[in-house]
Structure formats: structure tokens, C-alpha cells
Copies of this chain bind each other. A is one copy, B any other.
């Protein structure tokens, strides 16, 4: 079934399906259809069916999909049927807000380590996690075998911090700094930048 690689654009939609399905589950909805799901998230029913069919046959003709079952399958596919420990680099305004965010743990992610280079930040405890100095970063991340990092440091230092993270074995980086990172092929980067999103909308305003 998994003969040829599934395009990244499909992978990008799976988390959105999962988000909507988990939301349905919370509201007690146990069965849904590609039509209903599609209307909720603004994607065509055919698209959803085709995407899911890449991984197997999860639905029942005439009936639709079992929500708990599909949630379970998507969690397996996306590998969030486990807990991923993450490192957070940069305990500033944004870093703190992220460290306190409960949404992560509800979806298979845990902020396990926090690092900062500012001696005044080091030693602070954020959401029960002590802030460590960046001088300990590489070694500590290696010891904990952490593969995911969130980067909330100033743009000027983002690349150099990234280089250290890679040295420490990190394979996935969620970067909040407004700069494109250079990484090896086996390291994945995703970007979160509100300015980019805002500019994408002002284009369409008068």
C-alpha cells in the first residue's frame, strides 16, 4: 500500500483532519463522513477520501468513518500515538507562553528541557521546568535523546543555535525566529511567523 512516497502536501493536511476529528470526538460525535469533515475544515470530500486512502481503507461504504478509529489511525500515521519530548530554546516572552501552553501535552508533545543564554533567566522555573544554560545544551539534549526543538531566540542567533541543535542530534525544529535556517537533508524545519501570515492577508485588503 505504501509503495511510492506520499507527497508532503498530503502530510500537511493530515494534522488538520486529526484536529477536527479530535474536536468531534470531544463533542461525542462517533461517526462522520468525508462530506461532513470537509465542510468543517473547508476541504473537498474527494480530497479527504483520496488522502486517507493512501494509508488504507478506514471507512465503511454507506456509513462513513468511525471517529475514534480514524483518530487512532491518524495518530499512528503521524506518530503521535506516543509522547515526544521537546527542547525549548529561548525563555523570553514567547518562549514562556509556549512553555505554559497545555495544548502540547494533550497532543503528544512535552516540553522537557528549556535553555537560555541569559544568566538572569537560568535557574528560573517555568511550568515546573528549570531553565538551563545553553552551555549545557548539546550534552543534555544528547543524554535525553531529544529529537524535537522549538526555537524562540532572536533571529541573529537562530542559525548558530540551530547548528548546535543538529550537533546534539535534533531532527525536527519548529522555528519562531523570522529567518530561514540552513540544515542538512535529514533535519526537518517548520516556520511560524505571524508577519508572513499577516502580509499574506493584507495583499487582499484595500
Contact = CB atoms under 8 A, between A and B. Distances in A.
Interface of A: 11-12, 14-16, 18-20, 23, 40-42, 77-80, 84, 86, 93-94, 96-98, 100-101, 103-104, 107-109, 147-148, 150, 155, 171-172, 174, 178-180, 188, 190, 192-205
A79 B206 CA distance: 8
A23 to B, nearest CB: 7
B180 A190 contact: no
Contact of A97 (B96, B104, B150, B200): B96
Contacts of A14: 199-200, 203
Given A79-B203, A147-B205, A199-B78, A20 B188 contact: no
Contacts of A77: 203
B201 A197 contact: no
Contacts of A196: 15-16, 19
B178 A201 contact: no
